[in-house]
Amino acid sequence: MKKAIPAVLCIISLVIGAVSGYIYYSELRREECEITAANKVNSYTTVASVKKSYDFDTVEKDYFDDALFIGDSRTVGLQKYSELQNADYFAQVGLTVYRAFNVSVSNGYSYRTLLDTLKSGNYGKVYIMFGVNEITAELETSAAEYCKLLKTVRKYQPDALIFIEANLHVGKNRSDSWEYYSNERLDEYNNLLSINADNKDIFYIDINEVYDDSEGNLAAEYTADDLHLNADCYAPWTQYLMTHAINR
């Protein structure tokens, strides 16, 4: 019986953490985080104005010692197969902005919620990639949820640089098979997300620059399922991040 008590307490702790995150995020939903009509128009044109209005630095891997990566299965792949093992990760297969504060993820030692991670960490950089699991929903609604996520990150990590990572494209076959899962729709969503970049402490970066084929699809040599990168194909992502850093 005594041995069961710590396990029960651990479960109770996880439930309390998840509920706390849900309550906080529900309260945050009441705050204004809307995309204006003008931004909607801009989002469907171009993100060139935010992509190259500042100079990136090239850094070594120790730049990511104080980095946190937040995301879905693509970020899980970065965690498992890249050389950036010195960073922290909050990533889960199938995770979305809608559920980000409602789950607990293992960091190798214990399970923690995203809210606990943000409260307890001291991060200099936070990288976020969410969207491939959201694009079948209404894009502007998902983008508003993403904006709320950014607000929460900023609240608990006020000094961190935030990098909005464009969603990695999918392969041509997957893109062509369903209009609601197409690269055109991913681009529309990426453009909506890019509006949040202020080029001061929130930046937009696009790894599709290194993974796209000539038609704007995830190149076949990098993927076996038209959705995820192969295990040996994370080096370009790592290199891209190392050459698109901000020092201040």
Cα(137)–Cα(26) distance, integer angstroms: 19
The pLDDT value given to residue 2: 47
Say yes or no to pLDDT of 17 above 70.
no
The pLDDT value given to residue 53: 56
CA proximity to 75, closest of 140, 126, 144: 126
Say yes or no to pLDDT of 222 above 70.
yes
Percent of the chain with pLDDT over 70: 78
Mean residue pLDDT across the chain:
85
The pLDDT value given to residue 107: 80
The pLDDT value given to residue 28: 45
Percent of the chain with pLDDT over 90: 75
The pLDDT value given to residue 40: 40
Cα(237)–Cα(235) distance, integer angstroms: 5
Per-residue pLDDT reduced to its tens digit, 115-140: 999 999 999 999 999 999 999 999 99
CB atoms within 10 A of CB 61: 15
* CA neighbours closer than 13 Å in the CB half-sphere of residue 226: 13
pTM, two decimals, is: 0.82
CB atoms within 10 A of CB 103: 17
CA dist 117 to 17, 53, 104, 107, 166, Å? 11, 31, 10, 10, 23
Cα(42)–Cα(21) distance, integer angstroms: 33
- Which of residues 36 and 105 earns the better pLDDT score? 105
Per-residue pLDDT reduced to its tens digit, 18-75: 444 444 444 444 344 544 333 443 333 334 444 445 689 999 999 999 999 999 999 9
Burial of 60: CB neighbours in 10 Å, binned 0-12, 13-18, 19+: exposed
Residue 77 CA to chain centroid, in angstroms? 13
The pLDDT value given to residue 33: 55
- Which of residues 42 and 233 earns the better pLDDT score? 233
Burial of 47: CB neighbours in 10 Å, binned 0-12, 13-18, 19+: buried
